[in-house]
A and B are shown apart, each in its own frame.
Chain A
Amino acid sequence: MTGTHANMGPAAIAWRRFRRHRLALASGLVLLGLSVLAAAAPLVGMLLGTAPDAVDLFSRFAPPSAAHPLGTDELGRDVLVRLLYGGRVSLLVGITAALAAAVFGTAVGLLAGYHGGRLDALLMRLTDSVISLPLLPLLIVLAAVDPGKLGLPEGVAESESLSLYRIVVIVALVGWTTVARLVRATALSLRERDFVLAAIAQGAGAARVMLVHILPNLASPIIVATTLSVGNVILLESVLSFLGLGIQPPVPSWGNLLTNAQELIWTVPGLALYPGALIFVTVIAFNFLGDGLQDAMASRPSDG
């Protein structure tokens, strides 16, 4: 088995392994398709001759038709167009928050893993505490904080896009733990390796060793953990938006599209199906993708 790898770089080997993980490959394609559709939301709106917030009270709860492929909601707005616009927000927030969390988690994990000792014990205890806390009620408290009381200027505190930034920050605050643990474990073993010891012997400072010598070798665990956490982050964003604390209407997100659906399940249960199904598909696709990447990037030279 090993012989076939003779002329291949690590990236090519990883790609070969990844291709064999059919679910992960399919998930990647699904996510690509969803992103393209979400990006094309204005185009779809134009083709259908409607906008995400175009209210039409004469055609509330319309069944699917050529003009409204998935029907209309309680205000006569087109369900498909709102779903696609919601997807832009949910995907963008999910990926941005996961990246922000990854940066923070990498910093914590790198410091803990490289320095070890007391700092490591302290940071890891902090990480474990954050993981074990009941996070959702805490996030609800954070999301309910009045931005005006934080001393933000009025223009910022009242702006519509604040709910976007706010949700990214809040979710990143609790989403960094997985990355931190993985990075710490890898950094812990890397710091004993010869190339790191050589760098230290040549007089490189701690910051240089961490950023130049160790960080590049952490790429695979960081990529895997970030991919896996995008799913989690999208779930958190959607539940907060569902509870009315995340993305605020009229900006649609997959979570807040479900807020009204709960009151309407006795009359129009169908409205509750689509947004949740899209969250489900997106999250499971990110999880499969992360799983596939993990298999592909695992350093197992013998069973490629």
Chain B
Amino acid sequence: MIRFLAGRTVQAASVLLLMSFVIYGLMGLMPGDPIDLMISADPKMTSEDAVRLRKLYGLDQPITERYANWLAAAVGGDLGYSRLYAKPVLDVLFPALGNTVRLLAISFLLSLAIALPMGILAAMRPYSRFDYSVNLAAFAGISVPSFWLALILIIVFSVTFNLLPAGGTGTLSEGGIWETARYLVLPVANLVIVSVGGHTRYTRAAMIEALRQDYIRTARAKGAGPARVVLKHALRNAMIPVVTIIALDFGMLFSGALITETIFASPGMGKLIFDAIMGSDFNLALVGLLFATTLTLVGNLLADIAYARLDPRISYR
């Protein structure tokens, strides 16, 4: 297990390294050169100043060299400053990371809590009226544009009925836990609706496949009750493919968080990355993207561990 985890960590690290290079290169291709931004902010700057600054920041060097310098500094713990917030990048990112992890964790668990029972029940009676309705609802969830759904939620719950806040966050000191929770309801609802459809369909498909196997017939023949057959024999086996596919969806979940946070003005990683890209804060965007990638890679790694726990045939030695 340890050797497997070490291997997976090395693989994740190389994906991260590759990503950092690609994103670093792309940042150089975005409009708004840092020196140009300085020039527009300070009309007294001469073109000689610009040349000198370019040299000072090493911007006159080829991209590979600049990347190597950046990487050396980053590994040494110096991730640079955020231009927009005038703070070290990490000071900006860490509070946002907490908000995003909270949003993602609640939405993910809630989505599973709905998808697993629905998928299992639908699979127990395939092609029944109930199965049909679950499938229809799942397709609707997969197909709805998340940003539009967010707008509709705001229109219904904030504009029309004025029940919930349309954006922002509550602070614990001001309103306590319930006030904070009120701000989370719509973003969580939005993320759950767009992810629960996929989760339900994966569960249903895997359960139908598992219930078709010979060992299910054997279990039934031995007199196991329906609940025991479904939950103990089928579900455990069905969870193996489900875990794999859901793990691959972590990146999608983060993409959903970006849209959700941007529309609900919720101060998380997604909104921060979006604002950083739009505001030419390259340092923040770069590190933020790498954080987001790390988040999904860690999610995948956790899924691998869950996979090993579920399937006794896999020992990862």
* Bound-complex Cα distance A279 to B152 (A): 14
Q: Give the one of B139, B148, B152, B248 with max A CB within 10 A.
A: B148
What 1/0 mask marks residues of chain A from 192 to 227 whose CB sits below 8 Å from any chain B CB? Answer: 000000000000000000000000000000000000
Binary flags per residue of B64-96, CB closer than 8 Å to A gives 1, else 0: 000000000000000000000000000000000
Neighbouring A residues of B26 by C-beta, 8 Å: 141-142, 145
Q: Does A51 contact B (CB under 8 A)?
A: no
Are A280 and B148 in touch, CB under 8 angstroms? yes
Interface residues in A240-297 by Cβ distance below 8 A to B read: 242-243, 258, 261-262, 265-266, 269, 272-273, 275-277, 279-280, 283-284, 287-288, 291
Decide if A269 touches B159 in the complex (CB within 8 Å): yes
B23, A261: Cβ atoms closer than 8 Å: no
Q: Are B270 and A137 interface neighbours, CB within 8 A?
A: yes
Q: How far is the CA of A150 from the CA of B30 in the complex (A)?
A: 10
Could you tell me which residues of chain B, from 212 to 266, have a CB within 8 Å of some CB in chain A? 247-248, 250-252, 254-255, 258-259, 262-263
Decide if B289 is an interface residue (CB 8 Å cutoff): yes
Quick check: which of A56-64, A125-133, A183-191 contacts chain B, the rest being far away?
A: A125-133
Which of B45-53, B118-126, B273-281 lines the interface with chain A?
B273-281
Question: Interface segment, A76-84, A98-106, A111-119, A231-239?
Answer: A231-239
Closest to B297 in A: A132
Q: Is there an interface contact between A287 and B147, defined as CB atoms closer than 8 Å? A: no
Bound together, the chains give a CA A141 to CA B30 distance in angstroms of: 8
Is B29 part of the binding interface, using a Cβ–Cβ cutoff of 8 Å? yes
- Report whether B151 and A258 are in contact in the complex, using a CB–CB cutoff of 8 Å: yes
In the complex, what's the smallest C-beta–C-beta distance from B278 to chain A, in angstroms?
7
Contacts of A280 in B (CB 8 A): 140, 143-145, 148
How distant is the Cα of A288 from the Cα of B148 in the complex, in angstroms? Answer: 20
- Give Cα A59 to B154, complex, Å: 27
B145 adjacent to A276 (CB under 8 Å): yes
Interface size bracket, A side: 35 or more
Q: Which residues of B sit under 8 angstroms from A283, Cβ to Cβ?
A: 143-145
Instruction: Answer yes or no: B146 CB below 8 A from chain A CBs.
Output: yes
- What B residues does A137 contact at CB under 8 A? 254-255, 258, 270, 273-274, 277, 288-289, 292
Contacts of B248 in A (CB 8 A): 128, 131-132
In the complex, A238→B145 CA distance in Å?
8
Give the residues in chain B near A284, CB-CB below 8 Å: 139-140, 142-143
**Given A141-B277, A145-B26, A287-B142, CB of A136 within 8 Å of CB of B148:** no
Chosen A-B contacts, 26 in total, with CB atoms closer than 8 Å, are A133-B251, A134-B258, A134-B292, A135-B255, A136-B258, A137-B254, A137-B273, A137-B274, A140-B273, A141-B23, A142-B26, A144-B277, A146-B29, A239-B145, A258-B151, A262-B151, A265-B155, A265-B159, A272-B148, A272-B151, A276-B147, A276-B149, A276-B152, A284-B139, A284-B143, A291-B139
Chain A residues at the B interface, C-beta cutoff of 8 Å: 125, 128-129, 131-138, 140-142, 144-146, 148-150, 231, 235, 238-239, 242-243, 258, 261-262, 265-266, 269, 272-273, 275-277, 279-280, 283-284, 287-288, 291
Nearest 8 A/B pairs, CB to CB: A276-B148, A136-B255, A284-B143, A134-B254, A146-B31, A283-B143, A269-B155, A145-B29
* Residue positions of B touching A, CB distance < 8 A: 11, 15, 19, 23, 26-31, 139-140, 142-149, 151-152, 154-155, 159-160, 247-248, 250-252, 254-255, 258-259, 262-263, 270, 273-274, 277-278, 285, 288-289, 292-293, 295-297, 300
